Structures are given as structure tokens and as C-alpha cells.
Amino acid sequence: MLIFDAHLDLAWNAIDWNRDLRLEVSEIRQREISQSIPGKGRGVGTVSFPALRQGKVGIFIATLLARLMRPGMMPPIQRYESMEAAYGAARGQLGYYQAMVEEGELRFIKTGKELEEHATGWKKTAGQGEPLGFILSMEGADPVLNPEQVHHWFELGLRIIGPAHYGVSPYAHGTSTEGGLFPPGPKLLKEMEKCGMILDVTHLSDQCFDEAMDLYGGPVLASHHNCRALVPDQRQLTDEQIKKLIARGAVIGGAFDTWMLVPNWVRGKTTPQETGVSIRHVVDHIDRVCQLAGNTDHAGLGTDLDGGFGREQSPVDLDSITDLASFPTLLKQRGYAEADVEKICHGNWIRFFKNALPTG
């Protein structure tokens, strides 16, 4: 079964964490352990190119992540004192992806035609001899120097922007904050709509979510989000927000970060073992999206498995992203038919992007 993962921070891991993603996950872990590299997630990472292949994750959204430094910002990652520095860092991450394209590891997907060709090739060959395909997204719009620069980024191949991440961006309030769009925010959305840039509502504050949904008329997605009804936290989507996304034809990617899967998780203290959190809890969130929609057309995967954590904050039955290969079986055990399993694993994202990307 082909898997489409709607959120991976690959370039950030490769550059800031200095991980050679061409290696096996076990080798990356061993290098970090032997070098005594400090920090959360070190020595217990779960993502690499070989692991993606083994898990049949043949298509994914890959991010540019370069944020401004903000007082009290959590988590304290990607810290830049100026938007110009954030822009430079994001261009460097883009350079990494381009290098991996030249190496034959990745395929840069920018149009609906390219996506269809890539998915067809993977299904025919089960990924044998095929590069891993990616669509480029920006998580937090801090590297966009002004709203008009969206067109420049689109020409470079960027196809998705989430206006904010944790804290605030120059354009919007994000996770763990309250407030709406900043003055440049509506202009950013206007320019995004003009050039065909897709809006990712992930990480937007509740007020920003509402404002962005009202102002932006183009295609919308939620790349890595779970359900607030199951895990109460502002980082999650309310049922009302999910219904608004469904009405706009969006797809919502279920995230695998354990604090988003079960309630009362304390990051840095709670462990997967003591809660028993497993991949089936992701199915719980996906199932709620499907129940709210009345169909299986709006649920997908957006694992975020390399998003600044490793096995210490992943489902207990997941050693690496290779284990996504078990996900179709879990859906079938929950009663989902084969056709619906295919939609959730890859079909919904492929349909969404064939419509949202330039035709080519």
C-alpha cells in the first residue's frame, strides 16, 4: 500500500540536526549515541530515506522550517534574529532538497501531472527504482520577507504555506497564543490566493483559523492535526473547525506525536510505555474525522515523526517510520473497506493535490 505522509521536516533534520538521511535509522541513532550528542530525540530518531522506502512512504510533504526568535518561544528551535536570516536558512533547506534530487533520492513534485506520474510509477513498481516524491511546504511564514514575495517562493517550487508555527510569526498568531492575523496577514493570504499557493491551517490560533478561512478563497489543508474532542488542547482541531475544513474540501492529516494522541500527556515526563499509546490511537482521531464527514474523503496521514522528537514521543508500537506499513491493517481491523483504506493512506491527498496544484 502506497503511503502519503503530509508532514516531514526532512531538511531541518538533515541540516540543523546534521543527520545523513541516506543512512538507515539504526545507523543515524548509533552515530548520535557514539558522539554523545545531547538533546531531545537524539539517538532515538525514526525517519530516514531507507526507512521511508521500507514503509512504502513514496510521497510526502517536506517542509522549510526557519522561524524568528521570540521571547519564551517553545520549543526553542530554529532561532533567527531577522526575517532575512530566516529567508537565508529556508533557501539553504531548499538547496538540500535540490541536492537530493540531483542525487536521485528525491523527486520534486510541483504540478498535478508530476504527482500523477509519480504515484502511478510507485504503484506499478512498489517503489523499486523510484525516487521518493515530495511537495514543498513552509511551516511558519517567517522566511517570507513581504507578502508579494510569495510569488518568488512559488517560482522556486513552494506550494504550501502555514502562516505561523509555535508562538507568533510576522503574519499570524500560532500554537499556544491567542489573537488574530497581524496587519500583513490578510495581504499574505491575498497574494497566496493570487499565485495558487495552498493554505495550511495547522498551528494557527483559533482566531487566526477563523480569519484565514474567511479571507482566503483557495485550497486549504490541515497537514498534521488531531481532534480536540479526544485530546483537549488548542493545538488540536475542534469539531466545528473540522466541519469547516470538510466543507472546503480539505484533507486532515493525523499526527503521530504522542502528546496529541492521548489526553493528560506531560511532555518530557510521560512515556509511551506508561500510557500504552499506540498507532491505533491515530486511527481513533482519523475515525472521528470520518464520522464528522460522513465519509472517508477528508482523512489522511501527516505523521510529523521527525518533528523534534523520536521514539520517546512516538507510539509504543512504532520503532521507525517503516512501521507505517502496518497502518492499512489497523484500518481494516477497525472495519474500513479496502477502497476506504486506500483513500486514507494516499488517495485523498493525491486527489486533493491533483486539484490544488498547477496542472502542468
Q: Please give the share of the chain, as a percent, with pLDDT higher than 90.
A: 93
- Residue-averaged pLDDT of the chain: 96
Could you give the CA distance from residue 186 to residue 200 in angstroms, rounded to a whole number?
Answer: 15
Task: Locate 117 and state its grid cell.
Answer: 506520474
Could you give the CA distance from residue 120 to residue 132 in angstroms, rounded to a whole number?
Answer: 13
What is the structure's pLDDT at 244?
98
Task: Locate 213 and state its grid cell.
Answer: 478561512
What's the one-letter identity of residue 288?
R
pLDDT > 80? residue 70: no
Rounded average pLDDT over 80-98: 96
SS3 at position 330: helix
pLDDT > 80? residue 96: yes
**CA torsion through residues 319, 321, 325, 330, sign:** positive
What is the structure's pLDDT at 69?
80
pLDDT > 70? residue 278: yes
Peptide bond into 170 cis (omega under 30): no
pLDDT > 80? residue 296: yes
SS3 at position 82: coil
Domain extent, residue 124, equals 3-356
What is the structure's pLDDT at 311?
97
Task: Locate 269 and state its grid cell.
Answer: 515526563
SS3 at position 51: helix
What is the structure's pLDDT at 73?
57
Could you give the CA distance from residue 282 to residue 280 in angstroms, rounded to a whole number?
Answer: 5
SS3 at position 260: helix
pLDDT in tens, 308-333: 999 999 999 999 999 999 999 999 99
> Is residue 226 a contact partner of residue 236, using CB atoms and an 8 Å limit?
yes
What is the structure's pLDDT at 267?
85
pLDDT > 80? residue 298: yes
What is the structure's pLDDT at 192?
98
> Is residue 287 a contact partner of residue 230, using CB atoms and an 8 Å limit?
no
Q: How far is CA 177 from the centre of its chain?
A: 20
Rounded average pLDDT over 93-104: 98
Which has the closest alpha carbon to 57: 244, 305, 281, 246?
Answer: 305
* Number of folded domains that form the chain: 1
Task: Locate 119 and state its grid cell.
Answer: 504515484
pLDDT in tens, 248-272: 999 999 999 999 999 999 988 999 9
What is the structure's pLDDT at 75?
53
Between 78 and 133, residue with greater pLDDT:
133
pLDDT in tens, 11-25: 999 999 999 999 999
Q: Residues 6 or more apart from 74 whose CB is under 8 A from it? A: 166, 167, 176
Could you give the CA distance from residue 197 to residue 96 in angstroms, rounded to a whole number?
Answer: 22
pLDDT in tens, 123-171: 898 888 899 999 999 999 999 999 999 999 999 999 999 999 998 999 9
Q: Which segments of 218-284 are extended strands (E)? A: 220-221, 252-254
**DSSP-assigned beta bridge partners for residue 283:** none
SS3 at position 58: strand
> Is residue 80 a contact partner of residue 69, using CB atoms and an 8 Å limit?
yes
Instruction: Work out the pLDDT band at 77, boundaries 50, 70, 90.
Output: low
Nearest 10 degrees: CA dihedral of 187, 219, 206, 188? -10
Q: What is the CATH number of the domain that holds 23?
A: 3.20.20.140
> Is residue 209 a contact partner of residue 201, using CB atoms and an 8 Å limit?
yes
Rounded average pLDDT over 215-231: 98
> Is residue 103 a contact partner of residue 26, using CB atoms and an 8 Å limit?
no
Query: pTM score, two decimals?
Result: 0.97
